[in-house]
Structure 1
Amino acid sequence: MKLSGLARVALCATALLMSAATFAAKKDTKSVDEFPNATRKEPKATMVEREQRELSKAADLVNDGKGMEALPIVEKVLGNPKSSKYAQAFALQLKGRAYWDDDNEAEALAATIKAIELDALPNVHQFGLIYQVAQMYMQDEKYDQALSWIDRWEKESGQNTADSLALKSNLFYRLERYQDAIGTMKQAIAKSDAPHESWNQILMASYYELDQFDEAAALVQSQLAKKPNDIKLIKQLATIYVNGDKYPQAIEVLSKAKAQGLITSPEDYMQLAKLYANADKPKDAADTLREGMSKGVVQPSLEAYRLLGDVCSQSEDDACTIDAYTKASPFAADGNVDYQLGYYLYYAERSAEAKEALNRAISKGGLRQEGEAYVMRGDILSDLNDNAGAMADWRKAATFPSTKTMAEQRIKAATTGVKLRRPSTRK
């Protein structure tokens, strides 16, 4: 898995390089022990002047983004049997960084692990490299290995930080150990004064995988208490309620946001309209869509007009239904919208327009109810006194199993001179 340049720099920053010259200047000074609980004993790190000189030059090249130019110097140190273990480990650390910057992750990983195995670097560098290896394995989607290395980092460094716990939780999530991911991420968040947004997302995703929607909702509600107008959080909470089959709560969240002027995207309007429709509130759904359209937020489209037609149909507003399906028709690649339009036009006693709609439906094809389309067009043609056309359509409908009986009844009635009567109301 390739990383962006910025992400690669961030990853390498977990193991900061110190030039040999800098080390030499500071080796006699006392520094704060960053790992007071480490189980690894701090090794004695020494270099001869020649090693310091060569590795200082190589380190400067690597830090200047010229890692490939540093490799010959590094290999010279590694090829010298008299080089100290510390010099070799430092050289391998440089080699790993150079290859990482060159996008050669396999060589970078191999060199970094060799540097760790020499067990000669100061704790601050040794532990930094162990942590980096965990991250590298994670980027390569080798999550078991990554988890093993972060466990090693915790054990040897004696540390348990918010960042390390968050990384570990992320690994648990990717390994589908969701309960472990939840428990570990809660610890990470508790340890941090400013938890990263991505941490909450991992926690949220883990709740989702375990269908723990109440816990997920509680998490978002706690975030909303701090950012009450964050539309991203509001929509996230609504989605959680939908997944938990709590549609009234989802509607309440989004409708309140709309009243506050926070609902501004076409997706938001469409989602709220669909929620109203699913909650058997078609009038509210239609009003929401009309508002979005009137504001120019919801643009003309098949989805928008078809949804408006559907909810108007639910509320038995035939004028709205016909108007919406008429506007949806030009956007439709198949004939299903025109079939619905024809149906409503026919029962609105607008048979000529219904005929045109059914003609388009059959011509476009892709009908879910093809037999029914021929039956209806036959009925429309009969109403228009085109008996021959009606008979032809009914005979066609008789070839479909779903409409065979219906069509044959019409054919029999027509051949005996019985005029088909339009039902007084649609069903």
Structure 2
Amino acid sequence: MKHTPLFTMLAGAALAFSFAAAPAYAGGASKDKQAVQYPNTSRVAPKLDLTSEKEQKALNEGLDAVNAGDKAKAEQILQPIVDSSKSKYAQAIALQGLANVTYNTGDVKSAIPLLKRAIDIGVMPNDTYFQLMFELAQLYAADQQYQASLDTIAKWRAEGKKETADSYGLEGMDYYRLEKYPEAIAAIQKAKSLTDKPQDSWNQILMASYAESGKGGDAAKMATDEYEKNPTDSGMLHNASAILLQQQDYAGAIKVLEQGRSNGALKDEGDWINLVKAYLLQAQNGGDAKSGSAKALATFDDGVSKGAIKPSAANYKLAGDASVIGENDAKAIGYYQKGAALASDGELDVALGRVYFQDQKFAEAKKYLTQGLGKGVQHKGEAYMVLAEADRELKDKPGAITAMMEAAKDPATSAKAKDWLRKAGVGK
């Protein structure tokens, strides 16, 4: 299943799982009436059949154990009620409590049938019944059963005769996960129309759905607009810049990232690196290579000095590559050397060898190419071909032939290497 890897929230639905208020038995004192949450439902509320004060006490103790996170005690008290109580209401409340404590241990899959049984018994008061049905939809979503979540939301809405922003927000997330992007867009737009406090995750789903459905321009505009409303919000900055980069709007990405840099919102290392890359991508797509390289390196050095960009082989490779693009070999060597000291392979040693070869410093080129090949590199054939040329420049014909014979073993460079060897009179 393909999803736009832009947003940090889309891992699952945010749950607000809870259980019904502690039950009262039929002979007990009545409680103050609360506002009815589902006044338009056609469902007839069943009569309370909990008549045992002793059973009510046991339920309260079981639910207290649920609240305390004591799964063993909750199961010890509530499971017998599920198995043998004559009260359907008591069974349903006990099942709900078991579902809750099971969910709280991280076992969403096992919580689902427990909660479904509590609902299917059919004896819960209307408000509790519909509350649990909506929670069941959330559990299905958390368990990646997105169609089941949608079906449950539809049933909840049809029977409860109620529409809420949260229900459409969950529906939008379900549709997004099912790659039904037009439906996800419609659901999130409906959710936003029902509240003046939309969840940040809804905007993330909406932007991702725009991007996945070929409406990248809409996604970029929305992301930028959201960021402009909250220019010091690092999350909004990340979303906006990520979509702009995906849309190859490098100037737009640079604009928002530089704005975040100036107002303190640019905090995440990944966003600092994206600003470096945005300058390079702009330079490589119609911009000035030397100017773009200089801006990328200035950003990189600023990020390092502030501790935002951490020393790593990958980061120093990026800076070295930026230096090569800007034809600043001295800086490239410096960055590659720092990265090579942190690397677990020989890629940056080979990069150093290439720079030294370009500068006609063939002894240094041979040193680092040999060193890199010894550590292991992905494109061995290409590295051996450069090494062979360095040996040739050093008048080391046997070394050049040996290196080129190694290059001939790599399918990617085999033809060129064999042609070189043939012209050198080797292997006739």
1:308 maps onto 2:319 in alignment: yes
Alignment-derived partner of residue 138 in structure 2: 135
Letter in 1 for 2:418: K
Letter in 2 for 1:92: Q
Distance 1:97 1:398 in 2: 69
3-state SS, counterpart of residue 64 of structure 1: helix
3-state SS, counterpart of residue 311 of structure 2: coil
1:235 maps onto 2:238 in alignment: yes
CA gap of 1:139–1:258, structure 2 versus 1, over 3 A, is: closer
1:345 maps onto 2:356 in alignment: yes
Letter in 2 for 1:380: A
Letter in 2 for 1:366: V
**Offset of residue 239 of structure 1:** 0.4
Alignment-derived partner of residue 26 in structure 1: 30
1:244 maps onto 2:247 in alignment: yes
3-state SS, counterpart of residue 17 of structure 2: helix
Runs of 5+ unmatched residues, structure 2? 1-13, 66-72, 284-291
Aligned residues between the structures: 389
**Offset of residue 402 of structure 1:** 2.1
Alignment-derived partner of residue 97 in structure 2: 98
Distance 2:147 2:156 in 1: 14
Q: Larger deviation: 18-27 or 283-292? A: 18-27
Alignment-derived partner of residue 82 in structure 1: none
Alignment-derived partner of residue 286 in structure 2: none
**Offset of residue 31 of structure 1:** 5.7
Q: Larger deviation: 17-26 or 146-155? A: 17-26
CA gap of 1:402–1:12, structure 2 versus 1, over 3 A, is: same
3-state SS, counterpart of residue 182 of structure 1: helix
Distance 2:390 2:261 in 1: 44
Q: Which of 41, 54, 64 does residue 44 from structure 2 map onto?
A: 41
**Offset of residue 234 of structure 1:** 0.9
Q: Equivalences for 1:18-417 in 2 at 5 Å? A: 18-21=22-25, 24-26=28-30, 32-43=35-46, 45-47=47-49, 51-65=51-65, 66-67=73-74, 68-73=76-81, 75-78=83-86, 87-88=87-88, 90-103=89-102, 109-110=112-113, 112-280=115-283, 281-366=292-377, 368=379, 370=381, 372-390=382-400, 392-393=402-403, 400-409=414-423, 411=424
3-state SS, counterpart of residue 328 of structure 1: helix
Report the structure number with the largest CA radius of gyration: 1
Q: Percent identity?
A: 30
**Offset of residue 159 of structure 1:** 0.9
CA gap of 1:406–1:334, structure 2 versus 1, over 3 A, is: farther
Runs of 5+ unmatched residues, structure 1? 1-6, 79-86, 414-427
CA gap of 1:369–1:321, structure 2 versus 1, over 3 A, is: same
Distance 1:251 1:70 in 2: 59
Structure 2 length-normalised TM: 0.79
**Offset of residue 320 of structure 1:** 1.8
CA gap of 1:30–1:256, structure 2 versus 1, over 3 A, is: closer
CA gap of 1:297–1:171, structure 2 versus 1, over 3 A, is: closer
Q: CA RMSD in A?
A: 3.2
Deviations 1:226-264 (A, max 9, x none): 321112211210101111221221122112322334334
| Cα pair 1:39 1:155 within 8 Å, conserved | no
3-state SS, counterpart of residue 401 of structure 1: helix
Distance 2:27 2:222 in 1: 47
For CA contacts below 8 A with separation 6 or more, give which structure has more relative contact order. Answer: 2
